[in-house]
Amino acid sequence: MDDGLSSFRLPRAPVAAAAAALAPAALLAGCSGPQSWADTAGVEAEAVARLLWIMVAAAVVIWLLVIGTMLFAARSGPSDPRGRGARGLVIWGGMVAPTVAVLALLVAGLILMRDLTGRTGELTVEATGEQWWWRIAHAAPAGDADAAPVPTPNELRLPVGRTVEMVLRADDVIHSFWVPSLGGKLDMIPGRVNRLHLTPTRTGRFRGACAEFCGEAHAQMALPVVVMQPEAYADWLAGQAAPAAEPADARTRRGRELFLATGCGACHAIRGTAAEGKLGPDLTHVGSRLTIGAGQLPMGRAEMARWIADAGAVKPGVRMPAFDMLPAEEIRLIADYLVSLE
């Protein structure tokens, strides 16, 4: 830079050209990854993306026609609106064509909506929006029809190639369920049951998000999603249905004592122990989850201790109070116990 004003100069042509060339690349970078509607991994997301691309193509054609006509009119100068063809242009181009285009879009959208919500799934997963986490429960493993659904909060695991019926509810305010790579979105409304279908087409890790502003920590209400082979899914679900593992060593045994003694069980349940709280997420297999706090921290001992000490510092507004009045060592013991619950 030769002087202080150089940053105010217009970019030279090669710079501008490079910027113009890079801009689409930068935009396209947003079209991949674990939370992109364009990088589809589900039948339903593909249907939505297909409709969007058809719409974009049709919009480009219509835009070119309208702009082309406008340029033609500007170049050919003023003429008598009563001239030949003017009436037809107004009726066909201005009335009939837009009506048909909007009708086609309406019918395509309605058929898409019917296909996304109107069928029955091969398995059922209940998801309830809470401030600010996901209360998820999988239908119990096959052959055990009377068993209660298996709680697996803040993590959605699905078998590849199967159509899952998501039963969507909300406990407090309106939330919205959206896993862009797989499908959606659909609102979760207190007092209502909405149903959405997801049919994952490939395995992998994806990210869902609450898509309706629901309060302070709305932006931190993420949902890790794992699509697995059906056998792996069955194994995982059987593991999640089992009660919590017994502590294997003195440290985790002490951690469990502290967990129960400090009142964690008022809000959290650990099946197989005296902790039966229903307010917060079920922690029976919390150590097997990928994240802590609905996608906020990776699962680990240090992260778990940090969450227990002051969850609100990680996720402002969270309902869980800070427990930094406990000695740091006790927090570490509780964290060790929780992370051991796989």
Partner 1 sequence: MKQKTLFEEGSLWPVIAALGIWAAHFLLSYWAAALWCAKAADGSGSLFWVRLAIAVLTLLALAAIAWLARHAVRRYGGRLTFEDDLTEDSAAERARFLGHATLLLCALSAVAVLFDAVPAVVFSTCR
Q: Which residues bind partner 1 (CB under 8 A)?
A: 81-82, 86-87, 90-91, 95, 99, 102-103, 106-107, 110-111, 114, 117-118, 195
Nearer to partner 1, 110 or 238 (CB): 110
- Decide: 337 and 247 in contact? Cβ < 8 Å: yes
CB of 8 to partner 1, least distance (A): 52
CB of 114 to partner 1, least distance (A): 6
CB of 129 to partner 1, least distance (A): 20
Nearer to partner 1, 70 or 91 (CB): 91
Nearer to partner 1, 50 or 119 (CB): 119
CB of 207 to partner 1, least distance (A): 28
**Parallel, antiparallel or unpaired: strands 164-170 and 123-130:** parallel
**CA distance linking residue 119 with residue 121, whole number of Å:** 6
Nearer to partner 1, 15 or 103 (CB): 103
Nearer to partner 1, 14 or 118 (CB): 118
Nearer to partner 1, 197 or 207 (CB): 197
Q: SS in 3 state form for the chain?
A: CCCCCHHHCCCCHHHHHHHHHHHHHHHHHCCCCCCCCCCCCEHHHHHHHHHHHHHHHHHHHHHHHHHHHHHHHHHHCCCCCCCCCHHHHHHHHHHHHHHHHHHHHHHHHHHHHHHHHCCCCCEEEEEEEECCEEEEEECCCCCCCCCCCEECCCCEEEECCCCEEEEEEECCCCEEEEECCCEEEEEECECCCEEEEECECCCEEEEEEECCCCCCCHHHCEEEEEEECHHHHHHHHHHHHCCCCCCCCHHHHHHHHHHHHCCHHHCCECECECCECCCCCCCCCHHHCCEECCCCEECCHHHHHHHHHCHHHHCCCCCCCCCCCCCHHHHHHHHHHHHCCC
CB of 184 to partner 1, least distance (A): 16
CB of 126 to partner 1, least distance (A): 16
Nearer to partner 1, 24 or 118 (CB): 118
Burial class (CB in 10 A: 0-12, 13-18, 19+), 157: buried
Nearer to partner 1, 67 or 91 (CB): 91
**CA distance linking residue 134 with residue 293, whole number of Å:** 10
CB of 13 to partner 1, least distance (A): 48
CB of 99 to partner 1, least distance (A): 6
CB of 202 to partner 1, least distance (A): 27
Nearer to partner 1, 165 or 303 (CB): 165
